[in-house]
Amino acid sequence: MTKRGDSKNRTEEGRRILLGHIKGKGLRWTKQRDAVLAAFLKANAHLSAEELYGLARKCCPDVGFATVYRCMNLFVEAGIAKERRFNDERVRYEPNVMAEHHDHLICLKCGVISEFEDERIEKLQELIASAKGFKVKHHRMELYGLCNKCDDS
């Protein structure tokens, strides 16, 4: 069992949080939202809107592109998704359920995205920022390079 919890737990927790957000705001639960949510949480990856559109349509063919975007914006608002943009490409969405803060390693060849967390980095950032009179709210740290597999070949 990973730090993040298994896929089943995450999916249940994600649905619970989203339902709370929806009820609290007088919004509605629809089969499209369910399809996009399921695709999003099951994958546990950094998917683009296009990829989510493809996945969601597998179980609910009448999902439109706009709905995927509207869903993802809703999920971000509800706190269960985070937007990421690596390598200046399109936005990708990352599940934010039962997840700790982390940064990313991106393989330039195969595109695999790996996550890491390092307390020393967090502390150094505070140090550097305060030396410049900045108060850090959030940060972004991405390491681009070659993963084990791609470096060999």
- Of 28 and 137, nearer to its own copies (C-beta) is 137
Give min distance, CB of 112 to its own copies, in A: 10
Which one-letter DSSP state was computed for residue 88? Answer: T
List the structure tokens of 7: 């896929």
Give how far the C-alpha of residue 3 lies from the chain's centroid of Cα atoms, to the nearest Å: 16
Q: What's the alpha-carbon Rg for the chain, to the nearest Å?
A: 17
Contact 77, 64 (CB under 8 A): no
137 forms part of the interface with its own copies (CB under 8 A): yes
Question: Following CA atoms 116, 118, 121, 126 in sequence, which dihedral angle do they give, to the nearest 10 degrees?
Answer: 110
- Of 99 and 105, nearer to its own copies (C-beta) is 105
Phi, psi of 146 (to 5 degrees): -115, 135
12 forms part of the interface with its own copies (CB under 8 A): no
- Of 8 and 31, nearer to DNA (C-beta) is 31
Give min distance, CB of 108 to its own copies, in A: 6
Question: Following CA atoms 76, 79, 83, 84 in sequence, which dihedral angle do they give, to the nearest 10 degrees?
Answer: -170
Could you say which of DNA, its own copies, none residue 138 binds, taking C-beta under 5 to 8 angstroms by partner kind?
its own copies
Give min distance, CB of 85 to DNA, in A: 7
- Of 50 and 89, nearer to its own copies (C-beta) is 89
91 forms part of the interface with its own copies (CB under 8 A): yes
**Distance, CA of 56 to CA of 45 (rounded, Å):** 15
100 forms part of the interface with its own copies (CB under 8 A): no
Residue identified by tokens 């989203």 is 18
| List of residues contacting its own copies (CB under 8 A) | 83, 85, 88, 91, 105, 107-108, 114, 116, 118, 120-121, 124-125, 128-129, 132-148, 151
